[in-house]
Amino acid sequence: MARSHSCCGSVVSLCTLHIFLTTSGWVELQESPSQSPPIFVFAQDYLEKFYQLPRNRFQSERKNSTSVIMEKLREMQRFFGLNETGKPNQETLEMMQKPRCGVPDSGDFMLTPGNPKWKQTNLTYRIIKYTPQLSEANVETAIQKAFQVWSNVSPLTFTKVSQGEVDIRISFVQGDHGDNSPFDGPNGILAHAFQPGQGIGGDVHFDAEETWTENSSNYNLFLVAAHEVGHSLGLSHSTDPGALMYPNYVFHDPSTYTLPQDDINGIQTIYGKSVGISGMFFAVLSMVVEVGGYPEVCLGSVKGGRCTLQSNTQWGHH
């Protein structure tokens, strides 16, 4: 377990991990929580936030919690495709340090159990509180593009409203903001959102203490917003590292961003497929141009301006 000590500057010191792994570790530390190294506290805190590890406040509850923690660690390792060791090894701790969404990866959602969805497809949203880091126009553009990612591949439509009741309320807030899921300052949790429903249902909160950008600097607002809107529509986290609904922040070029197939499958499972007006226009145009026949409505799905019919015949420009 020889390890360079140059890593001590990172958020969680891996030097502490070194000490931790070279002692018999987990159980002993659990027995004497007053001496728990930061690494233990950090891993336990992560599991409490994202894997529904019960918060054990009393000594009596701690007796058999070691096995519970190991089980939760395995669950987390399984989700991220790591070795299921049940131990907070380096690859596990590195994964835990990545900036991410605040919505848990396991169990039911933050509020509503079940698989709630919006009954109507014409949804409204409102930006309640802006961030001073970007102009209001830039925030609105990022949010509008985030909704478009989903409306492009589903029957859903999103209309921005500036007053009154709406389905999805969007705000930049910091620290404890009254929903039992406090933000944690710069990095860590970037944002969270609630499943479809009344009241707070569908709402999106961004950590106001993050640096929000329009470019590749951390953190790109459009990308995080597109992920959170996925939750607002009823999707939970994906284990596919390429998916938008993967819990960790991954940068992609916003100007060329298209929704990955995993997310398309997810949203269409809930709301069905849809041919957007521009997609339909494109499909009709392509058929006229390429087939020379009569314009027809695409009966399959339109992806990237290409109509895929049941027979798997594809129409589109090449």
Beta bridge partners of 129: 171
84 included as an active-site residue:
no
State the nearest-atom distance from the C-beta of 85 to Ca ion, in Å.
28
Q: Is 267 in the site for Ca ion (CB under 5 A)?
A: no
Q: How many CB atoms lie within 10 A of CB 78?
A: 13
Q: Which long-range contacts (CB under 8 A, 24 or more apart) does 91-97 make?
A: 92/43, 93/12, 93/14, 93/17, 93/39, 93/42, 93/43, 95/248, 96/12, 96/42, 96/43, 96/46, 97/10, 97/11, 97/12
In this structure, are strands 122-129 and 157-160 parallel, antiparallel, or unpaired? parallel
Q: Is 91 in the site for ligand NAG (CB under 6 A)?
A: yes
**Cα distance between residue 10 and residue 173, in whole Å:** 26
Applying CB under 6 A, which of residues 32, 59, 64, 255 lies at the interface with ligand NAG?
Answer: 64
By beta-carbon proximity to ligand NAG, the closer residue of 124 and 174 is 124
- Pure H helices in 112-202: 136-151
Question: Which residues, 171 to 190, sit near Ca ion by CB under 5 A?
Answer: 184, 188-189
> Which helix or strand (DSSP H or E) is residue 191 part of?
strand 189-193
**Cα distance between residue 224 and residue 243, in whole Å:** 12
- Pure H helices in 176-272: 221-232, 261-271
Q: Is 208 in the site for Zn ion (CB under 5 A)?
A: no
Question: Which residues, 82 to 111, sit near Zn ion by CB under 5 A?
Answer: 101, 103
Q: Which does 261 bind (CB under 5 to 8 A by kind): Ca ion, Zn ion, ligand NAG, none?
A: none
Q: Is 59 in the site for ligand NAG (CB under 6 A)?
A: no
Looking up tokens 């940068």, which residue turns up? Answer: 251
Q: Which does 188 bind (CB under 5 to 8 A by kind): Zn ion, Ca ion, ligand NAG, none?
A: Ca ion
Question: Which residues, 222 to 241, sit near ligand NAG by CB under 6 A?
Answer: none
- Is 262 marked within a binding site? no
Applying CB under 6 A, which of residues 124, 141, 181, 218 lies at the interface with ligand NAG?
Answer: 124
Residue ranges of the binding site: 101, 167, 177, 179, 184-185, 192, 201, 203, 205, 207, 210, 227, 231, 237, 245
Write out the catalytic residue numbers.
228
Enumerate binding residues for ligand NAG (CB under 6 A). Answer: 64, 68, 82-83, 91, 120, 122, 124, 213, 215-217
